[in-house]
Structure 1
């Protein structure tokens, strides 16, 4: 029997909640039952599946107060938690439109005109989702929704750091026929996640490179596909023609939104030396206006650092930079208000060996580095083990695009930042250590949950074995 373990409230620092990890034996039983129900889920058809998921999204809104309270306790912030809930309906509609537009491929062989074919799509029966703590609801369903629409059953293991929201979701699911049988959330830690990987037909993981390697290796041993969305060290390049007010506004938001606790947060800012002083003045001024929500969850911009260990990582990066000669212009100290808060921390006078430039930050740190040439900026931006996304600012989109094409990252925002968090139609792949597998955006985000099966039809005579007689060929 698994023992309960405590869960910390990021606002108060108090361990005020408990979960009991679901044991591997129970995961096995749950998975077996879900596989049986998945057959019915597939048979009811695409239209019915979409209608049920739309009902689920509406029920989330109807029970928003309860779900929101749990998310607020999980993450310590209110507005973004509300956006997570409201966003499910739009996500269902978006995936539904993609699914309805999809058709089986029908064609005729170019080399053998009497052979026609049809490519059909068979969903994986059971999909596993292991989600992170920074956007608990959104990142549990970013993979689950297209998989469910495809006809898969989905087993979700939320992060043990932010597990509270799962319970009100389970209660909502009990009221929705069919869906409650093919969408299950289980509590637990890494061992629970490993048990999930052992029971599913494909696994979706969002989180750190370290854990992603473990998940990917286990999936490979089990001979199942894995879709890994891992860390980032996203760079921004601000060319000398850029609008300084526009760029500094966008980059501040993209660096500190959700307290910088997002894979696509900007973590390195490279600015042309010609506009560096003016850019710094604008950025520092705007960063100083940012407020904390430590006194009231409904007032202020930045919530607490959700994961307790992350606060120490951030302070270590700041201290390392300071000790090596960096200048801290704003913030710079993790504040204790029960939980841990950190104001936007603008840092300059950096050297390449500083942790803030080499390791993933996942917090509201803004290291800013001047450059002399565009080639230098591109080289420094690409000098990373990560390649999730990046951004470029210039007077025209064409000028920025020319630079963006040289960046080693999957999603490039032009004259904006972190657009991959705001729009989901454009497909992208993670470069380097930032992940692997098909894009979770666009049509690929839907089609990755299918195995393709080709039906090849002979409409003519059968090819005889004599066609391969050596004498027949030579004559």
Structure 2
């Protein structure tokens, strides 16, 4: 999930390469136009629920289709968790926590097994990246170079933390000794989104496993495949049964059952702000802690001294990365009035050069949107933008007649009151706004309910510092975008979330502190 603001070369592709249309897994795999590496990747997945170390069907036999966003056709039918299945998973996690070895083994041993999982993911990197691209639509080149390596790095980072979680000895008044333990919370309910499935899984698993917790993870119904394969690799790595349980299913059923379950000790959620509010209410009934990584409408401020080509490229990557389906997307591009017209001209040129096509073509920069629902939502915002008076400079239309491909879209003359400037679109729609003064752009950039990320492009140290200090967001990027490190805290201000991912900060959300007081005996009489 790292953007270097470089311009990947490639030619525009307006034809997709349909995979298949069968709903039955083996029938799908027999299709002649399904490449052998794709068949192999799909065959590696057990499309069931992972509960207590076993891949099992839903209790009622329910399934749902996961689709290929390149065509809209079904890839596999996957077991769909219902409330009773979530309950089974929570009970398995509770048994593993209360009676199993995971929270009782040394931190070094836990770390060794997490390292082993990371090693296995690295061994299966191409397979997992292929599953990610099949299910999500992102370019395989991105999944191989960004999502998988960063997910693996994240697990290794927390594997190193597992034996370094400790308490303190604290001086007290009087004849008393006090010390603390940092202990695991217990059973953790984790709900992850569809935009970075394997990376978000790693972000959640790392600190939870390092801290000695057990997990029930609800994966998005749009993208369950890579997470299930990682679950199998976790068992192969030696992580005990019941420590990691995975329940694919809908948010309204499986997600709600997990968030409201009385046997869960914490909920961690990544997704939209609207759903995050619901999760908080459900978890509040049981008074369990919640961490939320939610939506954003991130401002990217381009200053008048900017290297224009570099700024255009960075703003382009900030918005269009992952087909615009990124919570940190720089979706409000604020450009100083003195360079505005030229910036728009170059932004349009860059968008027109973007290679859109099959994610398995190495030259592709932008694949399809993840689903029909998301595709139609983005189109509706493009229509709103035009209706509300923004200038559609480029794009705005569907590509082809199969799958969920959209033209990269650029709007100019966008004002703060327009829907495309206020709402999280989660698609390849760049909105370019004009600003005049530092005070004005800070006020406008902060005039949002969100505060996940923000960025500045300038060579002026004073402007960079003033804007970085003034922008109300959890992460500020200067002359870059979407740069992450496992050790650097990440999270939002305002309605963009509660708590932090990454670093030691995340461990505080997966451990709890126990204080112990002990009176000291009277000093020994050495003269006896």
Give TM-score, length-normalised by structure 1. Answer: 0.91
Residue equivalent to 1:465: none
Relative to structure 2, which stretch is displaced further, 256-265 or 77-86? 77-86
Residue equivalent to 2:119: 58
Secondary structure class of the residue paired with 2:331? strand
Deviation at 1:173, TM superposition (A): 3.3
Partners of 2:76 and 2:151 in 1: CA distance: 26
Secondary structure class of the residue paired with 1:339? coil
Residue equivalent to 1:469: none
Partners of 2:198 and 2:183 in 1: CA distance: 27
Deviations 1:367-425 (A, max 9, x none): 11111111111111111111111011222344212112111211111222233xx2232
Structure 2 unaligned blocks of 5 or more: 1-59, 523-528
Question: In structure 2, which of residues 195, 217, 221 is the aligned counterpart of residue 156 of structure 1?
Answer: 217
Residues 8 and 15 in structure 1, CA contact (< 8 A), matched pair in contact too:
yes
Aligned residues: 456
Secondary structure class of the residue paired with 2:304? coil
Partners of 1:455 and 1:47 in 2: CA distance: 24
Partners of 2:391 and 2:402 in 1: CA distance: 28
Residues 238 and 272 in structure 1, CA contact (< 8 A), matched pair in contact too:
yes
Residue equivalent to 1:186: 247
Secondary structure class of the residue paired with 2:433? strand
Relative to structure 2, which stretch is displaced further, 157-166 or 99-108? 99-108
CA RMSD of aligned residues (A): 2.0
Relative to structure 2, which stretch is displaced further, 216-225 or 64-73? 64-73
Relative to structure 2, which stretch is displaced further, 142-151 or 176-185? 176-185
Deviation at 1:282, TM superposition (A): 2.8
1:135 aligns with 2:196: yes
Partners of 1:285 and 1:252 in 2: CA distance: 11
Relative to structure 2, which stretch is displaced further, 99-108 or 222-231? 99-108
Question: In structure 2, which of residues 293, 316, 321 is the aligned counterpart of residue 252 of structure 1?
Answer: 316
Secondary structure class of the residue paired with 1:451? strand
1:292 aligns with 2:351: no
Partners of 1:166 and 1:296 in 2: CA distance: 20
Deviation at 1:165, TM superposition (A): 2.1
Partners of 2:366 and 2:142 in 1: CA distance: 10
Residue equivalent to 1:464: none
Residue equivalent to 1:74: 135
Residues 280 and 290 in structure 2, CA contact (< 8 A), matched pair in contact too:
yes
Partners of 2:143 and 2:197 in 1: CA distance: 9
Partners of 2:363 and 2:302 in 1: CA distance: 32
Deviations 1:179-200 (A, max 9, x none): 4431121121121112222132
Residue equivalent to 2:404: 340
Instruction: Map 1:209-358 to 2 at 5 A.
Output: 209-294=273-358, 296-358=360-422
Give the direction of change, closer, same or farther, for the CA distance of 1:118–1:10 in structure 2 (3 Å limit). Answer: same
Q: Which runs of 4+ in 1 moved over 6 A?
A: none
Deviation at 1:227, TM superposition (A): 0.7
Residue equivalent to 1:20: 79
Partners of 2:282 and 2:271 in 1: CA distance: 15
Residue equivalent to 1:444: 505
Residue equivalent to 2:62: 3
Secondary structure class of the residue paired with 2:432? strand
Give TM-score, length-normalised by structure 2. Answer: 0.82
Residues 348 and 367 in structure 1, CA contact (< 8 A), matched pair in contact too:
yes
Residues 116 and 458 in structure 1, CA contact (< 8 A), matched pair in contact too:
yes
Question: In structure 2, which of residues 474, 481, 489 is the aligned counterpart of residue 410 of structure 1?
Answer: 474
Partners of 2:68 and 2:491 in 1: CA distance: 34
Residues 123 and 150 in structure 1, CA contact (< 8 A), matched pair in contact too:
yes
1:32 aligns with 2:91: yes
Question: In structure 2, which of residues 486, 497, 502 is the aligned counterpart of residue 424 of structure 1?
Answer: 486
Residue equivalent to 1:396: 460
Partners of 1:444 and 1:214 in 2: CA distance: 24
Residues 154 and 486 in structure 2, CA contact (< 8 A), matched pair in contact too:
no
Residue equivalent to 1:91: 154
